[in-house]
Chain A
């Protein structure tokens, strides 16, 4: 076999797929446009996802696209990236009309995408992941040395700070995301699309990401940022386009707009960013956590000697940066994870050894943090999910059979009450938008009239209109005398809803505050600096 020989002395050719069209000389346009969408229209059967969309993104800017879940942002970007074909309309890249049939064509046109859920091979190294699909020949060795050199260059140029030989699964989420960005750059992307990039990041990681995006922009790349977080838009974008129900309703220069204006454009009416609630009237202790310690499957202590009470008629918020034991705490409370020591009491009686079904019978309702993996069976029809966990309720049973009519009637009632759209209990759950999926879970858990309600990330990935509704419902539950434990990584949410705030850091409770404590004080506690 011929040796692949000394790669060092050879001149390094550019990566294979980076032969993307060198930006075509733009015919005397005033502001050069990176992307122009003209009259894009797309329907899926009855659903008109994109209606006659016009969008112009200037080269070398960060352009935000904001809108509620289901507004059509993702469809539009999927069209741009070649996942779908538009029914009508034209895409111009650098002024040149371009047909983008698939992601290969998008890459060739210089468009790269960073997906919300990463497309990485977990047990490959960074280098291997970056090369994947651009190996440059049947033998790996020359490609590897080429990729390594190119990676080094990209990394230093954009301050990405990723070790090429690290294995993906050993990297924190923020770094995995940077690998996705590297992948796109390696393939010669001039235009980067990021789909809800901060949804999985801690605040510090998000800040780092923003720094990287600014560097990218300053180096002449164009960034399209899809998000529903107004604060991010204000912090980082140069221009912002707002989508609502499949239409592009406005484009603004970020410096000339306000959060209030954008929020109003998104939902089409004024929204309350503050929650309307009166003082709490706490009753007796309903949920008591005593010296609880929880270890994960590796034996690492995730919850460390945690104690607190939740009284009937109050909301206790657990604040903390994601990954500080909140998830394990929730799972232990819900009977999914066995605590290694300590006790959990509901109405004064220990729940140790009870499984999730027994806990439900004792009046515990649980809205899990991750609705896709835990809260819903996405392949089920909506009505089937509306009884998940309550399938042994005699109301829904008819001898050995399920009373389908009763279940569907009940599901329809919840759909009406929670304004779940589309109002069709026979639709597959996967076909609902994130906000509506969350409403399905909330409706199921709240309408059981529990005594203790534990809620993880109630509004993660949920649009503003739905957030308002969900917050109102949670406060109503409190006023009806329920004990509510709320875990959220959104500090604003905790401060708006909770009557008492318990701060967790590294698995321990570091302190308790009232919700009117300053953001800075809470932030320091969450960082483990102050108590």
Chain B
């Protein structure tokens, strides 16, 4: 109890502890792999070379990481206000609608760099709109945001299927998806940083939305730690009574925070919709909204931590896909188990080693310490 509250050096909290947690997660994953009769070392090798061993692998890793940065930031902003936004999945889904509408219309006539800012705004607006009702319900009626955002994930999914099947689908086509965007509705790939090192991006859909993601990470940092709104968000999140005392309006703060959170989640759609498939498809979000929760937890709601955690999860996604391809006995489900272990140790049990480390750091192990 007391050991958990003892302050530790920053490098221990932010460096050593996550590293330890990760190591334990991989160790147990290794045991699981060994249990089904495969070599853990070989599995690690396949996973790492698959994710980081080639230009294409890195491209895919960063492509996935882009999704997770957006959704991780979305969850983190809400966390700072004491809100648990589980609705990233639905908000991103609706964000895709916003991005697609812009890509389908403006993309016909404008070049990509002119379409993009409008698409970013539209995606954010649609995502934010999808967070508005849960936010309002929480702020005014006290309906728990966890419940309402989960509900809105389902409503969002149903709505999008309806729109894609009945309205946005190409007439005569079988697939529930829009037509392919024109050139101006597609985000260009980011190949040049790879070519700089003589590597090739290959088929990897790594694109400019990665830059937008990094920009958002910087903006979120500024928002939370450098603006008055961020101050008010943090005050409301850590001590709502003190926030009311300080004249910070609870309703406004909750609603604005959720709009920002939903907007960030919505922007995630840019990457898969305009950056990769160049059309709006069903279920393009693919769980990134939920992974964002793990990313935000692991990154301790700090943008820098979130970028690193997102890349780690990108490695697991891309490396995991390679792993199940090359070692068929390690199925997709096994990859999910490994990802689950990482979330368990790095997220849920993040403070597991804290008491032991605290003891290690504050104990002065001299001969004259308390005797039995």
Residues of A that sit less than 8 Å from B by CB: 43-45, 78, 83-91, 97, 99, 334-336, 355-360, 366, 368, 373-380, 384, 388-389, 391-392, 397, 400-402, 404, 431
Q: Given the interface contacts A88-B370, A99-B370, A373-B239, does A388 sit within 8 Å of B6 by beta carbon? A: no
**Cβ–Cβ contact A401 & B227, under 8 A:** yes
**Cβ–Cβ contact A397 & B372, under 8 A:** no
**Cβ–Cβ contact A368 & B370, under 8 A:** no
B99-107, B185-193, B230-238 - interface stretch:
B230-238
Interface residues in B255-275 (C-beta closer than 8 Å to A): none
B109-117, B308-316, B336-344, B361-369 - interface stretch:
B361-369
Q: Given the interface contacts A375-B242, A380-B238, does A356 sit within 8 Å of B247 by beta carbon? A: yes
Q: Which residues of B contact A402 (CB under 8 A)?
A: 226-228, 231
Q: Which residues of B contact A375 (CB under 8 A)?
A: 242, 245
Q: Which residues of A contact B235 (CB under 8 A)?
A: 377, 380, 388
Give the distance in Å from the alpha carbon of A408 to the alpha carbon of B49 in the complex: 48
Q: List 16 A-B contacts (CB under 8 A).
A: A44-B6, A99-B370, A355-B249, A356-B244, A356-B247, A357-B246, A357-B248, A366-B245, A375-B242, A376-B242, A377-B238, A377-B239, A380-B238, A389-B246, A391-B228, A401-B227
Known: A91-B370, A377-B234, A392-B228. 5 other contacts (CB 8 A): A86-B369, A99-B372, A355-B247, A374-B245, A389-B247
Q: Given the interface contacts A377-B239, A379-B238, does A389 sit within 8 Å of B226 by beta carbon? A: no
**Cβ–Cβ contact B239 & A90, under 8 A:** no
**Cβ–Cβ contact B245 & A85, under 8 A:** no
Q: Which residues of A contact B1 (CB under 8 A)?
A: 83
**Cβ–Cβ contact A78 & B238, under 8 A:** no
Proximity string of chain B (214-242) to chain A, C-beta cutoff 8 Å, 1 when within and 0 when not: 00000000100011100110110011011
Give the distance in Å from the alpha carbon of A90 to the alpha carbon of B234 in the complex: 44
Q: Given the interface contacts A388-B246, A397-B228, does A89 sit within 8 Å of B239 by beta carbon? A: no
Proximity string of chain B (281-320) to chain A, C-beta cutoff 8 Å, 1 when within and 0 when not: 0000000000000000000000000000000000000000
Give the distance in Å from the alpha carbon of A118 to the alpha carbon of B41 in the complex: 52
Interface residues in B23-39 (C-beta closer than 8 Å to A): none
**Which residue of chain B has the shortest Cβ distance to A91 in the bound complex?**
B370
Q: Which residues of A contact B372 (CB under 8 A)?
A: 97, 99
**Choice from B242, B364, B369 contacting A377 with Cβ under 8 Å:** B242
**Cβ–Cβ contact A84 & B2, under 8 A:** yes
Q: Which residues of A contact B202 (CB under 8 A)?
A: none
**Which residue of chain A has the shortest Cβ distance to B246 in the bound complex?**
A389
**Cβ–Cβ contact A83 & B2, under 8 A:** yes
Give the distance in Å from the alpha carbon of A391 to the alpha carbon of B336 in the complex: 45
**Which residue of chain B has the shortest Cβ distance to A87 in the bound complex?**
B364
Give the distance in Å from the alpha carbon of A380 to the alpha carbon of B242 in the complex: 11
Give the distance in Å from the alpha carbon of A334 to the alpha carbon of B368 in the complex: 55
**Cβ–Cβ contact A388 & B242, under 8 A:** yes
**Cβ–Cβ contact A404 & B238, under 8 A:** no
A315 to chain B, nearest CB (A): 22
**Cβ–Cβ contact A78 & B2, under 8 A:** yes
**Choice from B231, B244, B362, B363 contacting A391 with Cβ under 8 Å:** B231
**Cβ–Cβ contact B239 & A378, under 8 A:** yes
B127 to chain A, nearest CB (A): 22
Give the distance in Å from the alpha carbon of A360 to the alpha carbon of B7 in the complex: 35
Determine if B141 is an interface residue (Cβ-Cβ < 8 Å). Answer: no
Interface residues in B43-59 (C-beta closer than 8 Å to A): none
A279 to chain B, nearest CB (A): 34
**Cβ–Cβ contact A87 & B369, under 8 A:** yes
B11 to chain A, nearest CB (A): 15
Q: Which residues of B contact A334 (CB under 8 A)?
A: 245
Determine if B10 is an interface residue (Cβ-Cβ < 8 Å). Answer: no
Give the distance in Å from the alpha carbon of A206 to the alpha carbon of B340 in the complex: 53
Q: Which residues of B contact A45 (CB under 8 A)?
A: 7, 362
**Cβ–Cβ contact B234 & A86, under 8 A:** no
**Choice from A83, A91, A401 contacting B222 with Cβ under 8 Å:** A401
Q: Which residues of A contact B363 (CB under 8 A)?
A: 85, 87
B76 to chain A, nearest CB (A): 16
Q: Which residues of B contact A357 (CB under 8 A)?
A: 246-248
Give the distance in Å from the alpha carbon of A85 to the alpha carbon of B242 in the complex: 34
**Which residue of chain A has the shortest Cβ distance to B361 in the bound complex?**
A45
Among B7, B239, B372, max chain A CB count under 10 A is at B239
**Which residue of chain A has the shortest Cβ distance to B368 in the bound complex?**
A88
Give the distance in Å from the alpha carbon of A89 to the alpha carbon of B241 in the complex: 42
Give the distance in Å from the alpha carbon of A274 to the alpha carbon of B6 in the complex: 39
**Choice from B228, B239, B370 contacting A85 with Cβ under 8 Å:** B370
Q: Which residues of A contact B362 (CB under 8 A)?
A: 44-45
Q: Which residues of B contact A359 (CB under 8 A)?
A: 247
Give the distance in Å from the alpha carbon of A378 to the alpha carbon of B243 in the complex: 12
Q: Which residues of A contact B238 (CB under 8 A)?
A: 377-380
**Cβ–Cβ contact B371 & A97, under 8 A:** yes
A399 to chain B, nearest CB (A): 9
10 pairs of A and B residues whose beta carbons are closest in the complex: A357-B247, A356-B247, A389-B246, A83-B2, A377-B239, A374-B245, A388-B246, A379-B238, A87-B364, A373-B241
**Cβ–Cβ contact B227 & A373, under 8 A:** no
Q: Which residues of A contact B222 (CB under 8 A)?
A: 401
Q: Which residues of A contact B244 (CB under 8 A)?
A: 336, 356
Q: Which residues of B contact A401 (CB under 8 A)?
A: 222, 226-228
Give the distance in Å from the alpha carbon of A391 to the alpha carbon of B253 in the complex: 14
Q: Which residues of B contact A84 (CB under 8 A)?
A: 2
Q: Given the interface contacts A84-B2, A88-B369, A97-B371, does A374 sit within 8 Å of B228 by beta carbon? A: no
Q: Which residues of B contact A378 (CB under 8 A)?
A: 238-239
**Cβ–Cβ contact A389 & B2, under 8 A:** no
B249 to chain A, nearest CB (A): 7
**Cβ–Cβ contact B239 & A400, under 8 A:** no
Give the distance in Å from the alpha carbon of A132 to the alpha carbon of B319 in the complex: 48
**Cβ–Cβ contact A373 & B242, under 8 A:** yes
Q: Which residues of A contact B242 (CB under 8 A)?
A: 373-377, 388
**Cβ–Cβ contact B226 & A356, under 8 A:** no
A354 to chain B, nearest CB (A): 10
A26 to chain B, nearest CB (A): 20
Give the distance in Å from the alpha carbon of A99 to the alpha carbon of B241 in the complex: 41
Give the distance in Å from the alpha carbon of A62 to the alpha carbon of B265 in the complex: 62
Q: Given the interface contacts A83-B1, A85-B363, A87-B369, does A336 sit within 8 Å of B245 by beta carbon? A: yes
A516 to chain B, nearest CB (A): 35
A431 to chain B, nearest CB (A): 8
Give the distance in Å from the alpha carbon of A391 to the alpha carbon of B233 in the complex: 12
